[in-house]
């Protein structure tokens, strides 16, 4: 049971966002830019970073849904997503993405753990400043989204098929667009 | 030295914001709504939550900045230090104490928040919205802290700078930059 009354038909972060549309808007805008905005990292690669961090934070809703979105971007390759969660060093991904996942894993614990050597390793595989910046911020942002979802004890279904179709839709339409369906009809708290 | 080529002379998160204005805009807006806009929790109380989480994450820039904003709102710089030393004995309301306990758990892992923690906050008068905002402030500072530390930003050790920034942020909020470029020492 959620710690506060959230709409029962909206699991995970969606219920929390519907509860407080004012904060939902910048939260959606940030994830839209980071994971779908113009970038030299593909949406699939960025979703894998989000999935990996959420998996390390053991946030069921986030690692399932972002895993499903990642798979949708990667031609339905759910096995690759699973491999990144369990051991990305053995996954069939680029050396650059592996180096960025090392950085993301450190940020997930504590940003101060990122060393010049980690950044150098990523640069050697071709990572640019903005890719390194965005990796740090994706990892940091998912430490927020994960805590938000867990800290309110939101509903987090544990059925992969629940996430698969939703993942395809978010991959197609984006975060801001799909959030409108549950934000549009809700008045800001201030007006309630 | 920062891990990427951040603009020189800008401390902490202001350098990350200047480097990537696209992501800065929603991050600023989120902080502004959570900490500055009208709320049944006073801005000083919300800044204490932000400082508490940043202190526990050992993020010097964020702690010093939000401690200064809290002190500016409260017109008292001793409260934030006492919260940092021990939430349970700090001179804050029983409601804020219960919310700080929740924030401290979210800082570690959201799953640590128990129904009993929520019940304790409610008993002291906390509303659903105040509980929601406490969780999200703590979660958001788990992001801001990691962003500031993970980029290796310059985090000056200059109490006068933080005090000045704290006064300005307390007045103007977070939508626009208040820190001008400083000469690195």
Q: Supply A192's token pair.
A: 């309630």
- The residue of chain B with its CA nearest to that of A1 is B115
Is A139:A108 a contact under the CB 8 Å cutoff?
yes
- Rounded (10°) CA dihedral A122, A146, B96, B77: 10
The one-character DSSP state at B169 is: H
Half-sphere exposure in the Cβ direction for A114 (13 Å, CA): 35
Instruction: Give the pLDDT mean for A80-86.
Output: 98
Is A16:A35 a contact under the CB 8 Å cutoff?
no
Instruction: Give the pLDDT mean for B51-80.
Output: 98
Report the alpha-carbon angle A71-A36-A21, nearest 5. 105
Place of tokens 């659903």: B128
State the pTM of this model. Answer: 0.97
d(CA A151, CA A145): 10
Residues of A in contact with B149 (CB under 8 A): 110-112, 114
In a domain, B2, yes or no: no
**What are the extents of the domains in chain A?**
43-186
Residues of B in contact with A143 (CB under 8 A): 139, 142-143, 146
- Provide the CATH number for the domain around residue B147: 1.20.1290.10
d(CA B15, CA A41): 22
ipTM value, please give it. 0.97
CATH architecture for residues A43-186: Up-down Bundle (1.20)
Q: How many CB atoms lie within 10 A of CB A32?
A: 16
- What pLDDT was estimated at residue A189? 63
The boundaries of the domain holding residue B138 are 12-172
Q: What is the pLDDT of residues A96-122, one digit of tens each?
A: 999 999 999 999 999 999 999 999 999
d(CA B16, CA B23): 9
Tell me the nearest-neighbour CA distance from A106 into chain B, angstroms.
Answer: 8
- What pLDDT was estimated at residue A187? 66
Q: What is the pLDDT of residues A118-137, one digit of tens each?
A: 999 999 999 999 999 999 99
d(CA A21, CA A180): 10
**Which site among A111, A127, A187 would you substitute to test the B interface, given the most B Cβ atoms closer than 10 Å to its Cβ?**
A111
Lowest mean pLDDT among A148-157, A176-185, B136-145: A176-185
In a domain, B185, yes or no: no
Question: Does the distance separating the beta carbons of B115 and A59 come in below 8 Å?
Answer: no
Q: What is the total count of domains within chain B?
A: 1
Question: Does the distance separating the beta carbons of A148 and B135 come in below 8 Å?
Answer: yes
- Rounded (10°) CA dihedral A147, A165, A174, B25: 0
Q: Supply B104's token pair.
A: 């401290």
Nearest to B30 by CA among B179, B182, B173, B183: B173
Facing residue for B113 by CB, picked from A3, A22, A29:
A3
Residue B50 dihedral angles phi and psi, to the nearest 5°? -60, -45
In a domain, B124, yes or no: yes
Is B35:B46 a contact under the CB 8 Å cutoff?
yes
Could you please report the per-residue DSSP string of A13-72?
HHHHHHH-HHHHHHHHHHHHHHHHSS-SS-HHHHHHHHHHHHHHTT-HHHHHHHHHHHHH
Residues of B in contact with A23 (CB under 8 A): 30, 33-34, 136
Q: Mean pLDDT in chain B?
A: 96
Would the pLDDT of B89 be above 50? yes
Residue B158's pLDDT band (cuts 50, 70, 90): very high
d(CA A4, CA A22): 17
In a domain, B179, yes or no: no
Nearest to A190 by CA among A23, A28, A30: A23
- The residue of chain B with its CA nearest to that of A60 is B111
Residue A49 CB-density burial (10 A; 0-12 exposed, 13-18 middle, 19+ buried): buried
- What pLDDT was estimated at residue A190? 56
Report the alpha-carbon angle A56-A103-A36, nearest 5. 80
Residue A188's pLDDT band (cuts 50, 70, 90): low
In a domain, B3, yes or no: no
Is B47:B69 a contact under the CB 8 Å cutoff?
yes
Q: Supply A146's token pair.
A: 């994960």
């Amino acid at each position: 049971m959620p710690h506060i009354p959230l709409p029962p038909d909206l699991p995970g972060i969606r219920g929390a966002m519907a509860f407080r549309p004012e904060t939902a808007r910048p939260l959606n805008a940030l994830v839209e830019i980071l994971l779908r905005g113009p970038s030299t990292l593909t949406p699939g690669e960025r979703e894998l970073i989000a999935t990996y961090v959420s998996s390390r934070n053991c946030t069921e809703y986030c690692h399932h849904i972002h895993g499903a979105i990642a798979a949708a971007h990667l031609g339905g390759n759910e096995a690759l997503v699973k491999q990144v969660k369990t051991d990305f060093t053995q996954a069939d991904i680029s050396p650059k993405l592996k180096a960025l996942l090392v950085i993301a894993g450190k940020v997930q614990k504590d940003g101060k753990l990122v060393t010049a050597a980690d950044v150098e390793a990523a640069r050697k595989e071709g990572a640019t400043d903005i890719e390194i910046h965005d990796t740090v911020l994706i990892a940091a942002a998912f430490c927020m989204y994960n805590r938000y979802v867990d800290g309110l004890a939101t509903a987090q279904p544990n059925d992969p098929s629940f996430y698969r179709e939703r993942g395809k839709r978010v991959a197609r339409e984006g975060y801001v667009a799909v959030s409108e369906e549950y934000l549009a009809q809700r008045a800001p708290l201030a007006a309630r | 030295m920062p891990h990427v080529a951040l603009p020189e002379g800008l401390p902490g998160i202001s350098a990350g914001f200047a480097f990537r204005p696209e992501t800065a805009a929603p991050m600023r807006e989120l902080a502004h709504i959570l900490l500055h806009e009208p709320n049944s929790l006073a801005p000083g109380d919300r800044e204490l939550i932000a400082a508490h989480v940043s202190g526990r994450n050992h993020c010097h820039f964020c702690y010093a900045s939000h401690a200064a904003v809290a002190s500016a709102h409260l017109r008292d710089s001793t409260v934030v230090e006492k919260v940092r030393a021990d939430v349970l004995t700090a001179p804050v309301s029983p409601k804020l104490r219960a919310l700080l306990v929740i924030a401290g758990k979210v800082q570690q892992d959201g799953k640590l928040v128990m129904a009993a923690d929520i019940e304790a906050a409610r008993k002291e008068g906390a509303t659903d919205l105040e509980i929601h905002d406490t969780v999200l402030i703590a979660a958001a500072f788990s992001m801001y802290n990691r962003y500031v530390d993970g980029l290796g930003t310059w985090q000056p050790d200059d109490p006068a700078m933080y005090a000045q920034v704290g006064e300005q942020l307390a007045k103007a909020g977070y939508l626009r930059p208040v820190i001008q470029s400083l000469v690195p020492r």
